[in-house]
Amino acid sequence: MKVLVIGSGGREHALCWSLSHSERVSKIYCAPGNPGISDEATCVDLDIMDFDGILAFCISQSINFVVIGPEAPLVGGLIDRLETEGIASFGPSAAAAKLEGSKGFMKDLCKQCGIPTARYKRFSSFETAKTYILNERMPIVIKADGLAAGKGVIIAESVADALAATKDILGGMFGPAGTEVVIEEFLPGEEASYLALVDGTNILPLETAQDHKAVGEGDTGPNTGGMGAYSPAPVMSEELCNVTLNTIVKPIVAAMAANGTPFKGVFYAGLMISNGTPKLLEVNVRFGDPECQAILFRLKSDLFTMLQATWQGALSTISVKWSTQAALCVVMASQGYPGSYIKNSRINILDTAKSLEDIKIFHAGTAFEGDKLVAVGGRVLGITALGQNILAAQTRAYETIRHIKWPNGFYRKDIGWRAIQGQ
């Protein structure tokens, strides 16, 4: 089978790496890919939103299966284009991807289905939003309705902050993604991620994970795309997973099917666990990054078979094996991220780092400048390690970082702290 993976981040590197272990996959391409991905796949210079170019490449290279990593091409309808041409692919249709593409749509569906989630209101006018905010308790959560590259959620601690965030979003801070805002009550507790493959009807739960969105130690500072993750997430007990499956995932999957927009792909439920009860914060329609790196590093089964069964509607025939070890991923980012940062700083990954057992360095924002590896993005490397428990995996990941020479890089030194406190 010839497989094309769409994307260029750490998630796509993890997907290519896992797919490369499948005996059923003969060739992997990645568009556009990155230097790290080139170890597992042939990188193709295609833009992820160039649907015509992607389709032409699939036809010219007789691609059998396409795996789409990022949310933008999913929401934009790439799956629909591929399916129209008879090309098998993994991911939801544009109609089903609206679960992530519109936070307002997702919240309305939650209300319709009785899904436990935060109380909310939708606004397209600043004045009506202002009236609402002035009567609400702080902190409060302001969200751009559409895709905003992981930056469209603002936790406002004061009325002034809430009004400023709302005005900025509706004023064009995130472009078309901010034509409407969703304003939610703030939910205290501990965040966790629940992921499952869904084939329209059948649901196959994956291993749990927990990520660290804040840029600073102790989960402080502004949110990022993710500074690290670990799997499994101790907070997600078997009982809590069952509650999440039955009260959140199953009702939404059933509602999407009943509405004529069956969901196929990765169903990622971002949860807030408060007093032992899960409430839905968001739905993503693709693997999280860096949760994907931690989860797939523990996968013992054939990923391609799992993804193909999702497309075929045959997940009921699939069983999955996981490593009993824990995995932890530490993200190295460019100084200044998530704000402005310097590009093209030199990275030297020593050979000793590449040869360590049960360690994988997943690339995200990297590129070659001549024969030199440089950082071109905010989140750049994902150092991922296995260990008997979260602490052991954490220790191995941070030991590996000592073999990476990158003066312009930084990383959090406490990834996994919540889980380790409970060990």
pTM: 0.96
Residues 83 and 145 in one domain: no
Beta strands in 228-344 (DSSP E): 228-231, 264-274, 277-284, 326-334
Given this model, what pLDDT does residue 376 score? 97
Given this model, what pLDDT does residue 113 score? 96
Residues 352 and 416 in one domain: yes
Residues 195 and 291 in one domain: yes
Q: Is 158 helix (H, G, I), strand (E, B) or coil?
A: coil
Residue 342 lies in a domain: yes
CATH of the domain at 357: 3.90.600.10
Residues 348 and 374 in one domain: yes
CB 237 within 8 A of CB 194: no
Q: How many domains does the chain have?
A: 4
Among 45, 71, 94, the domain-final residue is: 94
Residue 64 lies in a domain: yes
Tokens, residue 388: 């008997």
Residues 160 and 216 in one domain: no
Residues 220 and 272 in one domain: yes
pLDDT digits (tens, 9 = 90+) for 211-222: 999 999 999 998
pLDDT digits (tens, 9 = 90+) for 110-169: 999 999 999 999 999 999 999 999 999 999 999 999 998 777 899 999 999 999 999 999
pLDDT digits (tens, 9 = 90+) for 255-311: 999 999 999 999 999 999 988 899 999 999 999 999 999 999 999 999 999 999 999
Among 71, 94, 117, the domain-final residue is: 94
* Average pLDDT of every residue of the chain: 96
Residues 173 and 202 in one domain: no
Residue 115 lies in a domain: no
Residues 197 and 305 in one domain: yes
CB 79 within 8 A of CB 103: no
Give me the residue label for tokens 């284009």.
81
Host domain of residue 163 = 125-179
Q: What does the alpha-carbon distance between residue 126 and residue 195 come to, in Å, rounded to a whole number?
A: 35
Residues 261 and 336 in one domain: no
pLDDT digits (tens, 9 = 90+) for 354-400: 888 899 999 999 999 999 999 999 999 999 999 999 999 999 999 99
Residues 285 and 331 in one domain: no
CATH of the domain at 138: 3.30.1490.20
Residue 378 lies in a domain: yes
Residues 269 and 344 in one domain: no
